Chain A
């Protein structure tokens, strides 16, 4: 019974992958990606200056700190949660060898 399940699972996965390949190739080549066509005015200004080439990284870092502070702080909490997760998974339980 398990080999039949494996064969069924393999067929479904191959069908999904071939279908996805066809859809993606058609959609990439035939349809134009509407890059920024729906953008509202005033949303897409030049946010970081491109001129001093060595200052680009600093400009992006400044943008990150000035405008995305919420996501930076929540990312710190995700890292703390990952540490507690690894501790919970890898700590030896009391009474175990």
Chain B
């Protein structure tokens, strides 16, 4: 069987990059890209698990990935529609300006 450690490293790296992008970036579209990177980290791990069978074919995780791509694509699409509306109200897509709702 193929060793899983390189794939685990890649998944962990994508998790860290996605969380960093989510927490540090100021632009709303880049925050949504960070969310997408997080989803793809999980998809990568699913695909990596299909290497554990002979011939690299394990249809169950591959079908899960095919459906998860569609699901998170719809979430990002709705997020972008909201970004359009935020721009109409605030005139900027800087998330540090969205501080009108206090604690």
Residues on A close to B: CB < 8 A?
2, 6, 10, 13, 16-17, 20-21, 24-25, 28-29, 33, 35-36, 44, 46-48, 50, 56, 59-60, 63-64, 68, 71-72, 75, 78-79, 81-82, 85-86, 89-90
Query: What residues of chain A lie closer than 8 Å to B24, measured between beta carbons?
Result: 10, 13
Bin chain B's interface residue count.
Answer: 35 or more
Q: CA separation between A13 and B24, bound complex, in Å?
A: 8
The 8 A-B pairs with the shortest beta carbon distances in the complex, nearest first, are A50-B55, A82-B74, A24-B12, A89-B81, A13-B23, A63-B59, A28-B8, A60-B59
Give the interface SS of chain A, mostly helix, strand, loop or mixed. helix
Residues of B near any A CB (own CB < 8 A): 1, 4-5, 8-9, 12, 15-16, 19-20, 23-24, 49, 52-60, 62-63, 66-67, 70-71, 74, 77-78, 81-82, 84-85, 96, 99
